[in-house]
Structure 1
Amino acid sequence: MNRTSAKAGLFTESVIRETFRLAAQHGAINLGQGYPDFPCPQEIKDAACAAIQADDNQYPMTFGTPPLRAAIAEKTARTYPGWTIDPDAELCVTCGATEALVAVAFALLDPGDEVVLFEPWYENYRPDAILAGAVPRTVRMHAPDWTFDEAELRAAFGPRTKAVFLCHPNNPTGKVYTAEELALLAELCQRWDAVLVVDSIYEHIHYLGAGRYLPPALVPGLEDRTVTVNALSKTYAVTGWRVGWTVAPPDLTAAIRKVHDFLTIAAPAPMQAAGVAAMGLPDGYYADVAARYLERRDLLCAALEDIGFGLRRPDGSYYVLCDMSPVDPAGDGVAFAHRLITEIGVSCVPAVSFWKPENAAAGRSMIRFAFPKRPETLHAAVERLKGLG
């Protein structure tokens, strides 16, 4: 008898986290894993410390403290007029967006259900679907602007389609889906009675200007069939705090809450108190976040372009997906990423894991850099990257 499950054999360990360990081992500047190397806002650090000192250190309410759920609902309504959330029936606070996605997958999917995924994808989505017993159905996005074919999308839907997973703004491509693309998804989700699961963790990190980001939950036809996943991690530079949440219709939220309870019980109590402070930051904070990331994007992308990498500057998120074959004609992103870490002292992520194994050739020469770093970190990385030759 095989001592491990068949499901566990259908995917590898995280390439992103593996790259993190290798970078630490070799002292490389980490432009692989997407975590900031600069401080989070002082207000939320103070709130976390105050909660700990006040002995807010025990189990909170399983699906989120009432103050945090109320603060998320209020901040969402302030940011997106017309989006009203019932914090008592439509919110579940989780241990980061990662746990939220697993809880959603287990709450929505039965063995044999089908899940539509856009490829390349953030590497967690396919394993989440597989662990729930579902069958991934793939829709390819095409460089350089990461468009997809409408006919291919329509063909991916069918009577067994239960959900669509969407990262918007997108990791790893930097794509921000258009109103027309979201309307098409709304049509198809309604036709096949599917749920749209939106990873919106980069909602405030885009470079299209105010009002250009459209939450799918506000798209006609998706209001009652969207699960929105979010977290403190990226917007507030606290990726280690592990506080996320889902927003969904009451029937879906009830199922998500049950699964979340038996996965992790609750997110850390002091960090939830800090989340209340984060939700109360002024609106100008979010414009500043986008402006600072735009500067970082342009700093790194300009340098990568000068070195010779093929890329399209992302419209959102804080990653840039590059074709490394102009720099290394061998075109092997895995070998190139290893060389960068061990010889150049900069880490990136080989992007082949963002494509399914059968389509691995499409991602063979692709690598992903992350730029949520201090300018001095990016300048130091660029100086090292100039040593490629």
Structure 2
Amino acid sequence: MSTTPIPPGWKGGFAQSNPAFAYPTPDLSSLEMKDNMDNIKLLTRQQGVKWPEFSWQTIPGDESSRCFQMFSPYISRLGYTDEGRVYSIICPQQGACSPTFGCMNVEVTVTGQRGWVDETTKTFYADMTVEGTIWFSPSSLQEEWVKKAWDIFNKFGLDFPTSKAKAIKVATHKFQDPNHPIFPVSQGETPRFKSPAFARHEDEAWNVGHIDVQIGDIKKTGHKIVDEFNELVMFAFNTASGNMLKQGNTLTWNVWFTQPALVDTDEWETHAKRWRDSIQADHGSPTGPGTQARYFDGTPFKAVDTLELEMKDTMKKEIHQLEKMEVNKIEGFLQKHFEDEL
């Protein structure tokens, strides 16, 4: 770990203000869950996540299918006061591309957080609530079936996921506890699995923490046709991304921090707003690209890998079935609901 001195101004004390906050079983239930944008003016210190190392099983339940991918450097941050109270956690965003839909954006959007940091002991703990959000990037809107569906939805005044504001929402919850939407952000690397050398940064990072969050249901919009279409989009997204947001799958981040730094609240607000309003997958990331998803041995992940494995002992179909399957589902959906418009 890095031993670079921390900047002046650290006071500490918040982590010790309540005995319930302490490890090994921190309890932050006495603190209100705060929105990320509510208290930016109170932030004075931060730890940037230069290496947001993400991992998931591309075939849920099969550990040999686990992939590792670093998201855009510094996309995530932990913001807190001189005393160590956490008031803002910025989380990652990524893109995935489908043969039929083109590129789609995915973000794990923070809806609530609370926590503490102790720079003196290099420890921290936080609680979070998040939801997954999926929406089409500009290039996907030029794909034949997407454009056709978008035009029809517009004609009938139906919401179409063309922006983060209209994104498909996916619920999340604590690992193995679907009745508990609040989950921890804990000290150290995840104990659930071992990470390969290319996904570890112990010689460079100042500290490391981990997040394990499990995927729940797609949130209903209240409109049957929109909900049915959103199910199709999620099918396509999960095919393209290796089941990243498939219900029941668990997403894990080992977040490798740089040393504490001071906060410019105007810059923080701009950074948070940029990610809240969203960049698009087509345009890349303003903080630089992440890495390609890879298996433990370094082999690059491809969407067809998942399809081949899932079909190997049952369906015995060709890899081009991926695109055909998606097209057939979209075509069938449009025929079912909008036959007169085609």
The interval holding the TM-score normalised by the smaller chain is under 0.3
Structure having the larger proportion of residues in helix = 1
Higher strand share: 2
User: What's the TM-score once normalised by structure 1's chain length?
Assistant: 0.23
